[in-house]
Amino acid sequence: MCREVDLVILEEAKRVIRVEAEALLALADSLNGDFAKAVDLILSSQGRIVVTGMGKSGIICQKIASTFSSTGTPAFFLHPAEGIHGDLGMIMKGDVVIAVSNSGETEEVIRILPVIKRIGAQLISMSGCASSTLAKAADIFLEIAVKEEACPLGLAPTASTTATLAMGDALAVALLVTRGFKAEDFALFHPGGALGKKLILRVEDLMHSGEAVPLVSEEVLMREALFVITSRGLGITGVVDAGGSLLGVITDGDLRRALERGADILNATAGDLMSRNPKKIAAGDLAAKALQRMEEHSITSLFVFTDTSADQPVGIIHLHDLLKAGLA
């Protein structure tokens, strides 16, 4: 049974989440043509996006800049306090500055506004106060006002920082969609993680090719085919006709089933024991697609072709190759 104090804690947590959720819904309803103008301004800019803010807003600004950069809009965070001590040199004519302050009167942010104008950068302001200094200085103003903070004291930035983060995400995604940014583009900026590997690595990057591909002709006796299966270490061999077209495959499972039937596997030919219509994958397909196909058909290898309409294999990819690459 929950303690009374636990119930109080849970109710408070639910209240916080409801307050922030209501703030986001109100923010969505408040969006107007200025949001579209902000997107157009960023799209037409020949420079970078500079995001600046102090304190908790500054932390949110760092996330916004990071999201922009990873979705096709070059951006970086400028600490306004460092800006007034020399880092304003990072801003160039043609850049777009997104300045964030819930009050719109944060001293460090206000102090850099004249320099931003003098440099020739354009200013998008995010503030909870439409009559603030920051809002009035903006080329485009995006209001992020919230009815109340989730903090019961009304002091700690909570709902307001959530609204700011959501506005930044909305801008980034709107830009992504407008630019036609694709998963492959996203992967270019995320090559090190599991997501990047799934979006970048292709079958041709991981497949075995040349002499490493286990292949035998259909007339070969199984004793020779067994040598190929063993020496290549993949537990499989492909069976090809005289022209090199793949007719079927022989796996460890095929051998076990043949033995269960009482077949004389050493004197049988590869063509006698092969499984026909093997599954294919194209060299240019994503490696993640190969993994999906293996899981779908409960197999551990796929022969690779220049495209799935071709008959002559150019390689083979094994489940172990995908595991080593960190795809599973």
Domains, the chain? 4-181 (3.40.50.10490), 203-324 (3.10.580.10)
Q: Please report the pLDDT score of residue 210 as a whole number.
A: 93
| Among candidate residues 132, 77, 74, the one with its CA nearest the CA of residue 105 | 132
Identify the band that residue 264 occupies on the pLDDT scale cut at 50, 70 and 90: confident
pLDDT of residue 190 exceeding 60:
no
Q: What pairs with residue 77 in β-bridges? A: 51
State pLDDT tens for residues 20-63. 999 999 999 999 999 999 999 999 998 999 999 999 999 999 99
Query: pTM value?
Result: 0.65
**Are the C-beta atoms of 117 and 71 separated by less than 8 Å?**
no
Q: What pairs with residue 216 in β-bridges? A: 239
CA distances from 259 to 223, 227, 271 (A): 14, 17, 16
Crossing angle of helices 159-179 and 33-44, rounded to 10°? 60
Identify the band that residue 153 occupies on the pLDDT scale cut at 50, 70 and 90: confident
Q: What's the distance, Cα to Cα, between the start and end of the chain in Å?
A: 41
Hey, which of 93-107, 217-231, 306-320 has the most confident mean pLDDT? 93-107
Name the amino acid, one letter, at 286.
Answer: L
> Strand 275-276 to strand 246-251: parallel, antiparallel, or no bridges (unpaired)?
antiparallel
Apex CA 66: angle with CA 158 and CA 78, to 5°?
80
